[in-house]
């Protein structure tokens, strides 16, 4: 599973990374987590509000920081 975190490095993006890593660890998933910090690359995903969470190439959430529980649900939905 490939997870991409979209965000220039603001406070919200750091929080998203922590929560995503926590969710991945809790679920025991093998996931590649990459951070996309370049504005042009972020915009290319089609989002206009950071941070964004991308699972296997699909934007699943943008504009706010989901809770660990929400991330787990998103991950579980996508891995099944």
How many Cα atoms sit within 13 Å of 1 on the Cβ side?
Answer: 18
Catalytic annotation present for 22: no
Length of the chain: 80
In the complex, minimum distance from the CB of residue 53 to another protein, in angstroms, rounded to a whole number: 13
In the complex, minimum distance from the CB of residue 2 to another protein, in angstroms, rounded to a whole number: 17
Task: For the segment 14-73, give every residue that binds another protein (CB under 8 A).
Answer: 26-28, 39-40, 42-50, 59, 63-65, 72-73
The beta strand positions in 1-80, using DSSP E, are: 2-6, 32-36, 52-55, 58-62
Q: Which residues are at the interface with another protein (CB under 8 A)?
A: 7-8, 10-13, 26-28, 39-40, 42-50, 59, 63-65, 72-73, 76-77, 79-80
């Amino acid at each position: 599973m490939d997870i991409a975190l979209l965000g220039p490095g603001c406070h919200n993006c750091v929080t998203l990374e922590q929560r995503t890593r926590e969710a991945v660890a809790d679920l025991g998933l093998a996931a590649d987590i990459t951070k996309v910090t370049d504005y042009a690359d972020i915009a290319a995903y089609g989002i206009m509000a950071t941070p964004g969470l991308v699972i296997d190439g699909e934007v699943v959430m943008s504009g706010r920081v989901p809770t660990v529980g929400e991330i787990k649900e998103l991950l579980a939905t996508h891995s099944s």
